[in-house]
Structure 1
Amino acid sequence: MTIKDENGDLIKNGKAFFYEEKNENYTEFSLIRNGSALFIPTIEYQNLRIKIVSESFLPEEKIIHDFKASKSYELGFQLKKDKEYAIEEVVISKRKPITVKKDTVTYNVERFADGTEVKLEDILKKLPGIEVDDSNGSIKYKGKSIETITLDGDNLFDSNYTIGSKNINFDMIDKVEAIDNYQSNPLLIKADRGDKVSLNVKLKKSILNISGSASYASGYFGNRKQAYDFGGNLITLYNNLKSFSTVQYNNLGLSGNNDFTAKDSDLKYGKTIDDIHTTASLPASRWNFNNNFIVSLNLIYKYNKNTSFKFNYNINDDKVLINEQTRNSYQTDQVNFENNSSTTITKSILKNFFSGEFNYLPSKKIRVNSVFSLDNTHDFRDGFYTFNDNENSRDLLFRQTYFKNVTNITKVFKNEDVLDFFFKLSSFRGNDNQEFSPNLQVEDLYSLQNVEAQKNVLSSYINYHKKIKKINLTQSLGFKSYDVNLESVLNENTGFNNERNNVLYKDISFFVNSNLKYNYQKWIFESRLNFEQKKIRYNNISEDWTANNFLFGNESNISYVFGGIDVLSANFEYKRKPILENYLYDNYIRTSYNSVQRNLISRDLQNATSVGLKFWHNDFENQFLINTFLNYSNERGQYFSNLNMESDLISAVYFFSPRQNNQFTHLFNLTKLIYPIKTKVKIKTFYTRSNYFNIINSDERKVQVQNFNITLGFNSAFSSKIRFENETTFGFLDYKSDVETENKSIQNKFTFVLVPINSFSFISEFYTYVPNRKEKATFNFLDVTIKFLPVKTKYSFSFSLRNLLNEKSFVNTFTTDYSQVIQAIPLLPFHFSFGGSYRF
């Protein structure tokens, strides 16, 4: 098939649509590049009608009778220039909002902007197929969490990409590319594309070698305390150097939400004493009051075309005030008591994260890559709590030092086989120290809990990638060895006196994995077999045992691509897992002022099985997206802890991990642009149903939890001078055990945007939340922002008012079969601020 214009030149870009002759709905389509179709029909047609479409040309059609996919057909198309379209194109001169090319979807961000955008995150929230979580800044593309955000193709931020999404100025951005099958190792692009997704930000060509911005905003809270929000960004672009730096500070509750860590859950260790988690279902920006300071330096230096160095250094200093009151009512078959408590705690978190990367390609067939990370965290809480009218002080200190190195050598052979070698080493040192002391009465609780944890991990493995026609085969062989040394001491004047854990946990395993991926026409089949021989040694004061286990697992996925934009896939997964190392202690550890916990360690392996079905409809050209999946999972054999509650002690142990748990999950997400009114509508539903056994005073109770949310929303056209946006979420929770609790909630967010003239905008957001309709409590928030963002100048200004209705406290109730908790949390008070920024 050859496609040319009237002058005989090849058509560079276009589309070919394939129809059954009298059917107006195309069954297949193909992109046209340089006069040729990239895809030919794969099914039989009685009368195949082929329609060729290219921008600024009139479409042309041809028919092939009794079309057979196995035959060859020679067709030639000659498109005529569309004069009317050419004239219109000269007048409008606008780029298409979305273009699709193989694995990359390119968004021309100017077509989605309404003049209110300040940072990259603001425009990402408006792009079809991309979701941004308001609570932590995490980003998903087509329902998958992105791997990273690259800047003109360079991976500056790694997995800590929120430092870029929250700080890169919108006016620097030309395009955003969403990339499927992202692969950071260029030598593996043909051998193992994987299923990762990423975003690439393309800067405007006019961006200078040194560009950036500085901003400052100041105002007052309702109590006349001064409010601040200021910072600056700097982008450096030279031939061999690219860097992005930022400094930010605020006391407006705008937490940086940057988790500067070495993302490797297999190697790192977590806290033993968990922080007190405020679990308000209200958005964190409404109640999180802090003094947040962030410094970040990210750079890549390319010594030559084959050698590069990357450097990341981040500081996050966050001080957050937690102030909440709770009323607990514990009721079980054997215990019935109540307590009242209040907590006022200041959290001070200082994180220093440093990472470096060396990348060297001595030839086109060899790559050497080495990454090292150093993470130092100092996490301190101090404050007061009142328990049944007795006031006490509390201190909690968590310190950790973590080092990791990963070295990777990749070799491509003449037959295009690839050998990928990895060597990983990490070391963790952590300390949890918690102290409670009475202020009024000597006989009240005095508690000192200290935990020391060490973990060392060494692993090495080889991946061998081979391609046989349409089959990609990866064979892995390696070993992993790690040991954990955990020591804890609990001293207090209650029934838990001198409780001690001294745990040695060693795990040595050898594994073999086989991964096969096969493409046949529109079918994609992938299966991964995992074999592992594991030896575990567990030693504590009370027991000592060794276990040898053979673990087998399988992950299989089959997909079918039809119409070029639709994918249907089914997946199955089975695996066996040993106990979790974070819960190795079997003597008591106090985790808060009214709870202790211990574990009944089981040597049994956990058997986990899941099956799922997914469907994607990704019509980016028409901005019509559907993402839905069904999943069922079942876990058996997991260790658990019992629940002990004593009315004469301020303790309630409710950590448990069910011996058996099955869960059904369904998600449906649809967004559609309605062209006549240029309005995007959204429908999102989420349903989950869990069945498990809760262990209370050593009695097993069957629990069934059902949760259903449905969200309905719409956005009017971004190009309109007056824009409306509304999103309503209905929530339904049903908890059944010995007691039954139903909770129905409603959230509604209405946004009004007025752009009377270019560069000037007025934004009003009204948020309503009813956490429990039975309680008849409604929380209303009104925020107003005025922005002046002139495109052709370097200055911008903004004025904002938040929580104009001055909601002061959020109250919610949580009920289970063993307790009812009424929680009251102070909210961020009314405040206003006026600020400006300068771009250079």
Structure 2
Amino acid sequence: MKTEKGNKIHFVLKTILFFIALIWGFHKAYSQQIKVFGKITDSLQTPLSYANIFAIPESDNEVITFAITQENGTYKLGLSKNQSYKVTVSYLGFKQQVVSITTSNQDLIKDFILLENPDQLDEVTLNYTPPITVKKDTITYKVDAFATGEERKLREVLKKLPGVEVDKLGNVTVQGKKVTKVLVEDKTFFTGNSKLAVNNIPADAVDKVEILDNYNDVAMLKGLQDSEDMAMNIKLKEDKKKFAFGDVEVGAGIKDRYLFHPNLFYYSPKTNVNFIGDLNNQGIKSFSFRDYLEFEGGFGKLMNDAGSYFSLFNSDFAQYLNNKDYTANTNQFGALNIRQSVNTATDISGYVIASKSKTETESNTLNDYLNFDTPFKEDRTVTNSLNNFFTIGKITLEYNPSFEEDLTYDIFVKLTNNDSNGLITTLNPTQDNSITTFTDVTGINLKQNVSYSRKLSKDHTTTLEATYSYQNDKPITEWLTNRQILQGFIPLVDDTFYNINQTKKSNSHSFNTIIKDYWVLNNFNHIYTSVGFSSVFSTFYNQDVQQLTNGSINNFNSNDFGNDFGYNFIDTFVGLEYKFQIGIAAFKPMLYYHFYNWNTKQFDDKYSNNKALLLPQFTTKIEFNNSEKINFKYALNARFPSIERLANNFILSSFNSVFKGDTTLENQLYHSVSLNYYKFSLFKNLNINLNMSFNKKVKHFKNVTQLDGINQFTTQILFDNPEYNWSVRGGISKKINKIRYNLRSSFNYSDFYQILNDETHLNISKSVSSTFSVETFFKNHPNIELGYVKDFSNYRSLSNINNFENDKYFINLEYDFLKDFIFKADYSFDAYKNKNNGITNTFDTANASLFYQKEDSPWGFEVNATNLLNVKFKQQNSFNSFLISDNKTFILPRFIMFKLIYKL
């Protein structure tokens, strides 16, 4: 651990070096660029909008630059000074024009007049294929124009395409907009998630990359359904369209580290087979919570039903997937995907994914309890040994006989079996205790979905979607300790050793269906009507008991513990939407009328209710042009409680908390507003994103907590004091020649009430985070990314104000040298401060790898080192309505691996 003086010196040196590099890079890049601009017309001086202009440099050190003409036919190109270029101008139906230009130190004006070529569409052979082709909603990249041949995976190719970004996880952004679906040869790749595709498809198999904006799986619904989706379609090279390809990676390292990672692909016009496997003990998790969301329908779709999202997020399976840091981890993963074209109209596809892992985790948390009378601190250490297994399978039938008809049916099944063995140690003013925990969770989830779309006439299109879902979970938990826990909260019998067992069972059947008619009055006016039905039939059972050392059982049911709860919920609704366009703006007011009916049964007690709600929504989309848009959305939302919130007997939640639901809870009601602005300038290499959201809770569920030391009893009420949440997020990215400058910032504000020990108080939370980075894009020199992150967070509760800060510097290096070598390294330095507790911690992390593969050789070799500085833990803070936590999460130690890669 560094001294405070050493930390300050470290900060100063890093800041000076950072800004010297930044200023030098900006000056160097800016001083080498000039502007070429002009107008493209036909022989009658009619402007040609969306014409393509490409400037291909003669020097290998320069990059290809392209532009698209505006509505008035004007264009702008940013080129390097004193360089020679071949400029190609193309437009469908016109003869291509190619000229050579040499730039100087002055801006250049260059106009073009294109001549019609009516025979162009009949030509069989084209002598020139442009690197980029741009149409209204489609951008096509010719990969060979940007790749050097040293790329291993698709992600490395994508990074070199203008306007395309790939983050470390494999998420792809094009011109500031996230890719939400990946296709290969026009067919969905696995689930469509970009991670599996960009991290596994070999780079040398890719011929073209198509970016499809406003994408819709059903072609006839494009322009009817509001789609903000962006798809990426991978076109394979001709010799890969009926060919087996892929690679196999094998690795071994110190401290018995190992890795086996095969990626095998077979493609033909009718049959596609993909297999991805992974066996390692490096802490690499091949399946994440984000992947899980994609299997459940995608984040965007789930957030339309916030209840489903939060139910997934809080599930035991999701909690395992969210865990990213371990002290030890062994992972076994396999994914098999098969797609078969039966005929021109019918496809059958399916996948199965299985994962098995053994994980060890350790964390240390300093909890600062904001009790009104006697604030105190708790030091808690938690260790866990987990065994997790899941299998996911899906079969899909797609029938698309014509543009006017589309049918999709799929069946999905998920099996899980997770168990863990943990130890919780707590040190606080009222007790010192160690609790051993055992958990065992088994579950099954089955879903069936059918979607049918039919174009009934020129003006009417109808869709039907129906879903059936079945879920059954059985978690079992055991707490073992030699001291009493939750004294006064649970009815323990004195014993020499305390063994508390909990059994849960939850079961649900749900059915949802919606029929929607799209009526096109004319190009500027649409009316959509819908009718739908949603139902859930669920049961929840739990029992908490104490197993005494003499063999007898102390059942807590006699003290109002234990639930045997049934919950039936039905929602019938009709909706009316009117979509109209005025100029560049499209508006869509919507009204949905819902009639809800629900009833509950706890033993012999029954409760039933019904309610009708009118829920308005409104959206506006202003499209200045293809690269500048504003989206506005408003909705009044209702969300009903889950069965666990309604079960009105006590349930043991953890070693220090008890929860009790309320059968009489009705629905939450809240307003949500969002405003998104997006702009991308090809000429200026400028990308701007601004996202603002606002939520006002009118009626909402509120925890009512009784706190006694670290022990807490919680129930819920329907609270009608409004609470507010603001969020503003923005980013700007500017590329000048071969250097890109990025600034991202976010601000979050929320106020919320806490009801603690019969007192109600308003709390306020604020946080600000900003990231500034600079990255280079050289062909023959090392590429570096430098960045600085500054985080502030402030939490106010009564008279307590808590402040946290975090400073982070990071640098990423990639260098291709001697033709066959690739060196990669990353380093970050964090300084974390809890100002109120006077806690300051700094830590460094670093990783590096060296890869060698001789050109045209199938064999590759790599040495990589993870956690080079052998950092022991990561640190972060969190808070809720009555405590603030400083958390240390321990991570894997340093290890070095040697890898052998064979490319098929």
TM-score, normalization by structure 1: 0.84
Deviations 1:385-443 (A, max 9, x none): 33445433211121111111111222222425222122221111111111111268945
- The answer on whether the counterparts of 1:695 and 1:701 sit within 8 Å (CA) in structure 2 is yes
How far apart are 1:836 and its partner, in Å? 1.8
How far apart are 1:218 and its partner, in Å? 1.0
Structure 2 CA distance, aligned partners of 1:818 and 1:653?
12
- The answer on whether the counterparts of 1:120 and 1:169 sit within 8 Å (CA) in structure 2 is yes
Deviations 1:723-772 (A, max 9, x none): 11112111010111121111111122101222222231222211111232
- 1:482 corresponds to: 536
Letter in 2 for 1:757: L
Give yes or no for the alignment of 1:396 onto 2:439: yes
Letter in 2 for 1:212: G
- 1:454 corresponds to: 507
How far apart are 1:171 and its partner, in Å? 3.1
How far apart are 1:252 and its partner, in Å? 0.7
- 1:294 corresponds to: 333
- The answer on whether the counterparts of 2:176 and 2:687 sit within 8 Å (CA) in structure 1 is no
Residue of structure 1 aligned with 2:408, choices 348, 360, 369: 369
Structure 2 CA distance, aligned partners of 1:263 and 1:513?
25
Structure 1 CA distance, aligned partners of 2:713 and 2:683?
56
Structure 1 CA distance, aligned partners of 2:746 and 2:414?
36
- 1:782 corresponds to: 846
Structure 2 CA distance, aligned partners of 1:416 and 1:16?
34
- The answer on whether the counterparts of 1:113 and 1:719 sit within 8 Å (CA) in structure 2 is no
Letter in 1 for 2:732: L
Residue of structure 2 aligned with 1:213, choices 218, 223, 247: 247
- 1:310 corresponds to: 349
Percent identical:
18
How far apart are 1:819 and its partner, in Å? 2.6
- 1:574 corresponds to: 636
How far apart are 1:113 and its partner, in Å? 5.8
SS state at 1:713 partner:
strand
Letter in 1 for 2:651: I
Query: Structure 1 residues 11, 527: CA separation in 2 closer, same or farther (over 3 Å shift)?
Result: closer
- 2:200 corresponds to: 167
- 1:754 corresponds to: 815
Structure 1 CA distance, aligned partners of 2:455 and 2:540?
43
SS state at 1:787 partner:
strand
How far apart are 1:154 and its partner, in Å? 0.3
How far apart are 1:275 and its partner, in Å? 8.0
Structure 2 CA distance, aligned partners of 1:790 and 1:468?
62
Give yes or no for the alignment of 1:673 onto 2:735: yes
How far apart are 1:294 and its partner, in Å? 1.0
Deviations 1:676-706 (A, max 9, x none): xx10111101111001112212322101111
- 2:824 corresponds to: 763
Letter in 2 for 1:474: Y
Query: Structure 1 residues 612, 344: CA separation in 2 closer, same or farther (over 3 Å shift)?
Result: closer
Structure 1 CA distance, aligned partners of 2:656 and 2:148?
51
Describe how 1:85-104 pairs up with structure 2 within 5 A: 96=131, 99-104=133-138
Residue of structure 2 aligned with 1:429, choices 461, 467, 472: 472
Give yes or no for the alignment of 1:384 onto 2:423: yes
Structure 1 CA distance, aligned partners of 2:402 and 2:873?
63
- 2:124 corresponds to: none
Query: Structure 1 residues 288, 368: CA separation in 2 closer, same or farther (over 3 Å shift)?
Result: farther
Structure 2 CA distance, aligned partners of 1:703 and 1:752?
43
How far apart are 1:719 and its partner, in Å? 1.6
- 2:862 corresponds to: 798
How far apart are 1:822 and its partner, in Å? 3.9
- 2:516 corresponds to: 463
Structure 2 CA distance, aligned partners of 1:377 and 1:125?
36
Deviations 1:642-698 (A, max 9, x none): 112223x755659999753211111111111102xx101111011110011122123
Letter in 2 for 1:154: K
Give yes or no for the alignment of 1:734 onto 2:766: no
- 1:40 corresponds to: none
How far apart are 1:352 and its partner, in Å? 0.6
Deviations 1:488-529 (A, max 9, x none): 112248999331122211111211122333334322222332
- 1:72 corresponds to: none
- The answer on whether the counterparts of 1:5 and 1:78 sit within 8 Å (CA) in structure 2 is no
Q: How many residues align?
A: 781
- 2:804 corresponds to: 743
Give yes or no for the alignment of 1:682 onto 2:742: yes
Describe how 1:172-191 pairs up with structure 2 within 5 A: 172-189=205-222, 191=224
Deviations 1:87-129 (A, max 9, x none): xxx9xx9964x54321123345566668875433455566666
Deviations 1:593-645 (A, max 9, x none): 33333344553432211233321112246532111122221112112221122
Greater CA drift, 229-238 or 581-590? 581-590
Letter in 2 for 1:732: F
- The answer on whether the counterparts of 1:3 and 1:35 sit within 8 Å (CA) in structure 2 is no
SS state at 2:889 partner:
strand
How far apart are 1:273 and its partner, in Å? 7.2
- 2:577 corresponds to: 515
How far apart are 1:356 and its partner, in Å? 0.4
How far apart are 1:456 and its partner, in Å? 0.4
Structure 2 CA distance, aligned partners of 1:307 and 1:783?
48
Structure 2 CA distance, aligned partners of 1:120 and 1:770?
35
Describe how 1:345-360 pairs up with structure 2 within 5 A: 345-360=384-399
- 1:226 corresponds to: 256
- The answer on whether the counterparts of 1:335 and 1:646 sit within 8 Å (CA) in structure 2 is no
Structure 1 CA distance, aligned partners of 2:472 and 2:320?
27
Residue of structure 1 aligned with 2:180, choices 147, 165, 176: 147
Structure 2 CA distance, aligned partners of 1:310 and 1:144?
28
Query: Structure 1 residues 138, 536: CA separation in 2 closer, same or farther (over 3 Å shift)?
Result: farther
Letter in 2 for 1:180: D
Greater CA drift, 532-541 or 337-346? 337-346
Point out where structure 1 has 5 or more consecutive residues left out of the alignment: 26-30, 37-51, 63-75, 81-89
Give yes or no for the alignment of 1:405 onto 2:448: yes
- The answer on whether the counterparts of 1:100 and 1:106 sit within 8 Å (CA) in structure 2 is yes
User: RMSD of aligned C-alpha atoms?
Assistant: 3.8
Structure 1 CA distance, aligned partners of 2:69 and 2:368?
67
Letter in 2 for 1:684: R
Structure 1 CA distance, aligned partners of 2:534 and 2:256?
53
Query: Structure 1 residues 507, 718: CA separation in 2 closer, same or farther (over 3 Å shift)?
Result: farther
Greater CA drift, 476-485 or 338-347? 338-347
Structure 1 CA distance, aligned partners of 2:234 and 2:827?
32
TM-score, normalization by structure 2: 0.79
- 1:43 corresponds to: none
Structure 2 CA distance, aligned partners of 1:564 and 1:307?
34
How far apart are 1:213 and its partner, in Å? 0.8
Describe how 1:28-107 pairs up with structure 2 within 5 A: 33-35=91-93, 56=99, 78=115, 96=131, 99-107=133-141
Query: Structure 1 residues 171, 639: CA separation in 2 closer, same or farther (over 3 Å shift)?
Result: same
Greater CA drift, 555-564 or 335-344? 335-344
Query: Structure 1 residues 380, 126: CA separation in 2 closer, same or farther (over 3 Å shift)?
Result: farther
How far apart are 1:366 and its partner, in Å? 2.5
Structure 2 CA distance, aligned partners of 1:401 and 1:271?
17
- The answer on whether the counterparts of 1:599 and 1:641 sit within 8 Å (CA) in structure 2 is no
